[in-house]
Amino acid sequence: MTVALIRNKDQHVSVRRSASAWPIGTVGYLVAAIFTGFCLFPFYVILTTALKTETAIFAWPPVWVFKPTLQSFYNALFVFGGRSAISYLINSIVISAVSTILAVVLGAMAAYGFVRFRFAGKRHLAFWILSTRFAPPVAFIVPIYLMVQKAGLLDSHIALILIYTAMNLSLVIWILRGFFAEIPIEIEEAALVDGYSRLQIFWRVAVPLVRPGIVSTAILSAIFSWNEFLYAMVLTQSRAATLPVYLAGFSNSMGLAWGEYMAVGAMAVLPILVFTFAVQKYLVRGLTFGAVK
Amino acid sequence: MAEVQLSGIHKQFGAIRALRGIDLVIPDGAYVCLLGPSGSGKTTLLRCVAGLETVDAGHIRIGNRNVEALEPFARNVGLAFQNYALYPHLDVRGNLAFPLRAPRRRAQFDDEEIERLVRSTAALLQIDAMLDKPVVTLSGGQKQRVALGRALIRNPTVLLLDEPVTHLDARLQHEMRVELKLLQRRVGTTTIHVTHDQLEAQALGDLIVVMRDGLIEQVGSPDELCARPATSFVAGFVGDPPMSLLQVRLEREGGSLSLRVGKTRLRPGERLARLLDGFRDQHVEIALPAEDISQGHGGDVQTVSGKVQAHEWVGRELQIAVMVERTLVRLRTQQRLDLRIGDELAIQLNLTRAHVFDSKTGRRLRSSPN
Amino acid sequence: MRLAVQRRRAAWVLIAPAVAVLLVLNLFPIVYALYISVHYWTLARPQPPRFAGLSNYVDLFFDERFRNAVLVSLKFIVLAVGIELLLGLGLAFVFNMRLRGIATLRKLTLLPSLAMPLVVGLAWFYMFNENFGLVNWIWVMLGGTRVPFLTQGTLALLSIVAADVWQWTPFVMLVFYAALQALPEYVYEAARIDGLSGGQIFFRVTLPLLRPAILIVLVIRAVDALRSLELVFMMTKGGPAGDTEVLPWYLYTTGFLSLDLGYAAAMAVLMLALVTVLCQLFAGLLESQEAAP
Amino acid sequence: MPRIEFQGVTKIYPDGTRAVANLDLVVEDGELLCLLGPSGCGKSSTIRALAGLEVVSEGVILADNNRIDHLPPQARDCAMVFENYALYPHLTAFENIAMPLRARRLPVPEIKRRVMEIARMLHIEPLMGRRPRQLSGGEKQRVGIGRALVREPAMFLMDEPLGHLEAYLRIELRAEIRRLQERLGITTIYVTHDQEEAAAIADRIVVMSGGRLQQVGSFLDLLDRPVNRFVAEFVGEPPMVFLPVERTDTNSISVKGVPLQLSEPLAAALRATKDTNLTLGVRPNDISVVPPANEHLKGVVTLVQPQGSHAIVAVSTPGGPATVIVPSDWRPAAGANVGLAFAGERLHLFDSTARSLLHNREDSNG
């Protein structure tokens, strides 16, 4: 008997069982569970290693049951790296937050502009902006380094903020263009007749209607800024240095402080794990929208 | 309230000439229906009056002001869209109050004035019980009422309606038509109502403007349209079922005139003979309302025959479409005929009330004064 | 034309800010990179940069390490993206099945794609460690002898590929899952009414309709894989003997370790050229794809 | 072509909604039956259950007396036309129509011959090379019909096929569908929410509401002998007028004090029931406007809507609003006081459970 894996968003077509020994559902479930385990396991490794004592970390065979200690976290936060990790954490938060806000506001305005207005060169401009998403950042590091140096902005927050805004802009515009295009034009025409100007319609009608899009692009921008490593390492040393720079510092010093190393790693990853779970549904829509559209 | 005057309106979208010179006067307080098939330019004309489209040429006067260059807001028009275009993120009260909260009107309405107007408008449209409901949860009829409320709340000089009831199911359509007409009578706003449904236009329009390919075919009251269609297009468009249009050849032997339809020769009857007396052309187009066409032989009234194309029950009447000389002739009968598609059917034509048109221009022949 | 004047003004007010940011931080750096690449420009010696014509490019042509970097990058992309696409597509079907609880599993699998790449490098660096790494532990448990993953030729590249596959397969799976969900439901119903078997439906309906999504994911992942640097930085630093010296790493070390900016800029220009050509190819293919289905 | 029979068919969706409740229905061999009802009345679920797209919760579906409700769609030899056309977006019109034949692995020349033959019948030969995106709504639906008929199915199911088309196209296509069905003589079930379409296309119409079968009959049966208030209100344009009725004694009733003359069958039905909570139903074309007099219900004309050969007049009466059809040559003015006379033999009386008294009487002895 054939196996019909027909799924259906609205629930009523069921899966036809195949006659073989392993019902397809169980096999599917098993594969999904194994893959999910594979995805989560490294996070488990980071967290447990950060909580292990020195000996437990290097033990062979690896120790699974151990008495957790916060020593590594304490050292990472207050002892290592001259200044405490707190300032790196704050820099990361400030820089990704400000660059996200800038990217989303400018991006939303531009996306709306592209969807609602016709003007000369629109297709070319849109294609160029789209292509910036594909430009590998490493190709820009040399010229941007010299530009920032000449502007005297090395090791400054503003440099990273502007660069991250530029890097996130194309994704924000690409995703929000899809969301804005879904708004029926009549609703905006009704607002026009009701006495609102084009820009007021943008703020009062269009933006509220794409709130899910704005939330998901904000999340994605924040995550990409938080995770960025190359520019942070090249353009900052201490004052504006972010978490990745602190983490990179560990590997250079090669002092095998694995516990502290993992503690900082955990700090860098945990906020995202918690954050994503809270706003998960926006995220998926934004991520896929950007890709599938 | 105000009279609307349209003069020399032209509008083109790339190659398509949507409006090819419209001249129309809409009396103050009148309920006027723009009637025409899709693509006739009726919606474009409405959008030009609203200011959502700029006119390429011509003037639009509302009351005593030329408004063709003004943006929609400055024209003080109210517009109810075909698919309602309500603000999905607001509830009913939010939708009704939205126009009053426009920044440009900040000075005119304070909060409790807005609330008062919202309540009175909601009462007028019997939606005062659902002011706090989100609009997405409303039914089609309720959404239409909110859309009307939003258009009327700021007392527009002209109310524009774009196919307001065509989306509703049959029962609700009848109900909303009555309400729309009574509401307009009570509010008295000059109203322009666009529709493709000729029965709707006849039901609501004090005046009906029949449009085709960007031009006005005829302006008249519902009765005028049925009694004296100005062109063969109007004749073919109005009436339930629409009038049948027949190409007829004129044959004159020894002073007596006869009309040839395919193989059969018909006597024109005294009125038509006088009408066609001075007419030189070989061909004429005649329009016959369904009431003047009946089934079967008998009597001196002439008969033609053709193949049955379709037979449909509409209410208690059987509507039959017969193909005669490449034109569809539609008739109604109460009898229960056992018809199959393709059967040969003889039909009688009573020409006494036939309308006659010049087959080249489609315009109605000047009937001699009778 | 709609109310022309007012619209054009509003359009520019909306689009100008985003375009300005991108001009300064995307278009200008490309021009500046070209300018730098035609100079001997180094920070190691104090004297100002000297015009060098195309010599940087000529040197690149004969530079053994550059050719190796390009080769390693291509190997990395083909391996990583290839596995990610196959695994992702297969898993998309598994996660697309109507099973209770599979939705939560699907959400959990998203986490790797959002984690900080540097930390992903750290985790796998620890797990691939020769002495106390978990991978070796499992390998030994299965009867194998310890393997120097990160320090032995092709194995080093494979471990980088493994880390990249771990991080980005979930993203690929998610995009395919979204594409599957976006397939019109009624087409499947019509197919079953037409009497198509499960196999016929898969090959004649599902796969052809997924072609656009496959293409888009291929390009996104290929370009993104080209720019990843963190894994190499954390795990192998280009070693052993250049086996994992991907192009971005070689560019970064040339520019910021040996401080030869001119030469690095030349590499950047070539990389940008390669990506732009790839994008044009992709846009063309997508256009024909749009017309095709 | 099979004779289809639904026996006690029920469909309950996982979220508990009872889309189809205990449906007993027979579709004769070669008949064109129409399922008519408002959206959400279960008509689509019924046809999808027959096609196998929905699994039947209870009851049995028979085709020529053998069960098919447990078979997958592939094995039921029924073809379906969908409201949104359901064409394969990535295939040309030719490939779309050929797909059912490819599924049966027929030789290529035969597939080509049969596809071109059906294309000629539907006047869509020039469209064969185009993709669905390049076709108009009407053209897409013709391809959809071609795909359904090319495999000469035993059953032909149509789920609101003309829902998205323009008015004149709907009239054209439904005439063509009827011609096709008459020529092929294939058992066909046509689902629609538009009563005009139902009357135009089908000999027998099944009215459904809330998942239940309300009435089966010709359009005239539904018009003149509705079994309950739902059918009476749903069928007929403009809709039936309902007025509250007082029961003065066992065999006479009045509307706001105005006595009603009843036809013999209706009077007998009235005597047969003791229910006092009755409602009068009368169609607008069975009411005539007369000068106001005591023996007629009085009312005030609120609105006159000219409709060419007749006019629709809205009258407010003490019993509530009424609609009357008057010939166009005599029309009352708005605001005029008028009397309403009811055609005795065309009245309907509904009891407190909204069932028609006439219907109950027929039931009891029919």
pLDDT score recorded for residue C2: 46
Residue D209 shares a structural domain with residue D176 = yes
CA D96 to chain CA centroid, Å, is: 30
* A251: confidence class by pLDDT, cuts 50, 70, 90: low
Cross-strand partners of B347:
B295, B304
pLDDT score recorded for residue A13: 37
Number of separate helices (H) and strands (E) present in chain D: 10, 20
CA distance linking residue A276 with residue A279, whole number of Å: 5
pLDDT tens column, C25-65: 999 999 999 999 999 988 878 778 889 889 999 999 999 99
Residue D99 shares a structural domain with residue D125 = yes
Residue D74 shares a structural domain with residue D103 = yes
pLDDT score recorded for residue A176: 94
| A276 burial via Cβ count (<10 Å: 0-12, 13-18, 19+) | buried
Mutation for A interface: C76, C100, C122, most A CBs within 10 A: C122
Is B71 within 8 Å of C6 when comparing Cβ atoms?
A: yes
Say what percent of chain A tops pLDDT 70. 84
Is C4 within 8 Å of B54 when comparing Cβ atoms?
A: yes
- CB nearest A269 (choices: C33, C119, C137): C119
- Residue C204, min C-alpha distance to chain D (Å): 9
CB neighbours (10 Å) of residue D53?
25
Is C193 within 8 Å of D73 when comparing Cβ atoms?
A: yes
Whether A6 contacts chain C with CB within 8 A: yes
* A252: confidence class by pLDDT, cuts 50, 70, 90: low
User: A6 or A274: whose pLDDT is higher?
Assistant: A274
pLDDT score recorded for residue C5: 62
Is the pTM here over 0.80, yes or no? yes
* C271: confidence class by pLDDT, cuts 50, 70, 90: very high
Instruction: From A183, A188, A210, select the one nearest A104 (Cα to Cα).
Output: A210
pLDDT score recorded for residue A7: 37
Mean pLDDT of D251-264: 86
Give me the residue label for tokens 């003007």.
A119
How many domains does chain D fold into? 2
Alpha-helical (H) ranges within chain A are: 24-51, 54-58, 71-74, 85-116, 122-132, 141-150, 157-181, 185-193, 198-201, 207-209, 211-227, 230-235, 243-253, 258-278, 280-292
pLDDT score recorded for residue A2: 30
* A1: confidence class by pLDDT, cuts 50, 70, 90: very low
Is B72 within 8 Å of A200 when comparing Cβ atoms?
A: no
Instruction: For residue D53, list chain A residues with Cβ-Cβ distance below 8 A.
Output: 13
Supply the Cα-derived Rg of chain A in whole angstroms. Answer: 24
Instruction: For residue A288, list chain C residues with Cβ-Cβ distance below 8 A.
Output: 174-175, 177-179
Size of interface B-C (CB pairs under 8 A): 9
Report CA-CA distances (Å) from C78 to A39, B159, C141, C156, C276: 22, 64, 31, 16, 18
Tokens matching residue B54: 């700029």
Domain positions in chain A: 1-69, 77-292
Mutation for A interface: B73, B118, B159, most A CBs within 10 A: B73
Residue D252 shares a structural domain with residue D130 = no
Is B199 within 8 Å of D307 when comparing Cβ atoms?
A: yes
Phi/psi of residue A252, nearest 5 degrees = -70, -40
Is B72 within 8 Å of A192 when comparing Cβ atoms?
A: yes
- Say if residue A9's pLDDT is above 50: no
pLDDT score recorded for residue C119: 92
- Residue D345, min C-alpha distance to chain C (Å): 49
Instruction: For residue C1, list chain B residues with Cβ-Cβ distance below 8 A.
Output: 54
pLDDT score recorded for residue A255: 58
Of the residues D205, D230, D255, which one is the last residue of a structural domain? D230
Phi/psi of residue D4, nearest 5 degrees = -100, 140
Is the bond leading into B241 cis (omega within 30 degrees of zero)?
Answer: yes
- CB nearest B226 (choices: D194, D196, D308): D308
Structural domains of chain C, with CATH: 38-291 (1.10.3720.10)
C24 CB-near residues (< 8 Å, 6+ apart): A162, A166
CA distance linking residue D155 with residue D149, whole number of Å: 10
Q: Which residues of chain B have pLDDT under 50?
A: 300, 368-370
Residue D39 shares a structural domain with residue D132 = yes
- Say if residue A16's pLDDT is above 50: no
CA distance linking residue D208 with residue A293, whole number of Å: 41
CA distance linking residue C135 with residue C128, whole number of Å: 6
CB neighbours (10 Å) of residue C183?
17
Cross-strand partners of B259:
B250, B266
Query: Can you say whether residue A231 is alpha, beta or left, with left for phi > 0 and alpha for psi between -120 and 50 degrees?
Result: alpha
pLDDT tens column, C250-260: 999 999 999 99
- Say if residue A178's pLDDT is above 50: yes
* D49: confidence class by pLDDT, cuts 50, 70, 90: very high
Which A residues, 76 through 115, put their C-beta within 8 Å of a C-beta on chain C? Answer: 106-107, 109-110, 112-114
Tokens matching residue D287: 């009411």
Instruction: From D67, D62, D45, D66, select the one nearest D54 (Cα to Cα).
Output: D45
CA distance linking residue A91 with residue A72, whole number of Å: 21
Nearest CA in chain C to D104: C195
What is the average pLDDT score of chain D?
A: 90
CA A119 to chain CA centroid, Å, is: 33
Instruction: With residue B237 as reference, give the H or E element that holds it.
Output: helix B232-237
A134 CB-near residues (< 8 Å, 6+ apart): C219, C220, C223, C275, C278, C279
User: A251 or C16: whose pLDDT is higher?
Assistant: C16
pLDDT score recorded for residue A17: 40
- Residue A163, min C-alpha distance to chain C (Å): 7
- Say if residue A185's pLDDT is above 60: yes
User: D294 or D230: whose pLDDT is higher?
Assistant: D230
Instruction: For residue B203, list chain D residues with Cβ-Cβ distance below 8 A.
Output: 305-307, 312
* A235: confidence class by pLDDT, cuts 50, 70, 90: very high
CATH number of the structural domain spanning residue D190: 3.40.50.300
**How long, in residues, is chain B?**
370
CA distance linking residue C90 with residue C214, whole number of Å: 12
Q: Which range has highest mean pLDDT (A58-67, B98-107, B272-281, D101-110)?
A: D101-110
Q: Which amino acid appears at position D165 of this protein?
A: L
- Say if residue C223's pLDDT is above 90: no
CA distance linking residue C120 with residue A39, whole number of Å: 11
Give me the residue label for tokens 């009215």.
D207
In the DSSP assignment, the letter for residue A56 is H
Is B85 within 8 Å of A184 when comparing Cβ atoms?
A: yes
What is the domain extent for residue D30?
A: 4-230
Whether B70 contacts chain C with CB within 8 A: no
Instruction: From A48, A159, A163, A172, select the one nearest A110 (Cα to Cα).
Output: A172
Alpha-helical (H) ranges within chain C are: 4-22, 28-37, 55-62, 64-95, 102-109, 111-114, 117-127, 134-141, 153-182, 185-193, 198-201, 207-227, 230-231, 247-256, 261-291
- Residue A46, min C-alpha distance to chain D (Å): 43
- Residue D54, min C-alpha distance to chain A (Å): 7
Residue C239: strand, helix, or coil: coil
Query: Can you say whether residue B269 is alpha, beta or left, with left for phi > 0 and alpha for psi between -120 and 50 degrees?
Result: left
Domain A77-292 is classified in which CATH homologous superfamily? MetI-like (1.10.3720.10)
D209 touches D41 (CB < 8 A): yes
B281 touches B250 (CB < 8 A): yes
Of the residues D204, D230, D256, which one is the last residue of a structural domain? D230
Of the residues D197, D213, D230, which one is the last residue of a structural domain? D230
Is B71 within 8 Å of C3 when comparing Cβ atoms?
A: yes
CATH number of the structural domain spanning residue D303: 2.40.50.140
Chains touching chain D, criterion 3+ CB pairs below 8 Å:
A, B, C
pLDDT score recorded for residue C293: 41
- CB nearest A2 (choices: C102, C197, C278): C197
pLDDT tens column, C123-179: 999 888 888 888 888 888 888 888 888 888 888 999 999 999 999 999 999 999 999
Residue D254 shares a structural domain with residue D344 = yes
Say what percent of chain C tops pLDDT 70. 96
Residue D221 shares a structural domain with residue D315 = no
* D205: confidence class by pLDDT, cuts 50, 70, 90: very high
Chains touching chain C, criterion 3+ CB pairs below 8 Å:
A, B, D
B86 touches B95 (CB < 8 A): yes
Q: Which amino acid appears at position B125 of this protein?
A: L
B344 touches B327 (CB < 8 A): no
Mutation for A interface: B49, B52, B163, most A CBs within 10 A: B52
pLDDT tens column, C57-69: 999 999 999 999 9
Residue D224 shares a structural domain with residue D246 = no
pLDDT score recorded for residue D300: 93
Which D residues, 52 through 81, put their C-beta within 8 Å of a C-beta on chain A? Answer: 53-55, 72
* A8: confidence class by pLDDT, cuts 50, 70, 90: very low
Instruction: With residue B35 as reference, give the H or E element that holds it.
Output: strand B31-35
pLDDT tens column, D117-151: 999 999 999 999 999 999 999 999 999 999 999 99
Nearest CA in chain A to B152: A194
What is the average pLDDT score of chain A?
A: 83
CA distance linking residue D145 with residue D137, whole number of Å: 12
- CB nearest C186 (choices: D72, D82, D102): D82
pLDDT score recorded for residue D366: 35
Strand order of the β-sheet with B327-333 is: B293-295, B344-349, B303-314, B317-324, B327-333
A135 touches A176 (CB < 8 A): no
B351 touches B269 (CB < 8 A): yes
Structural domains of chain B, with CATH: 4-230 (3.40.50.300), 237-358 (2.40.50.140)
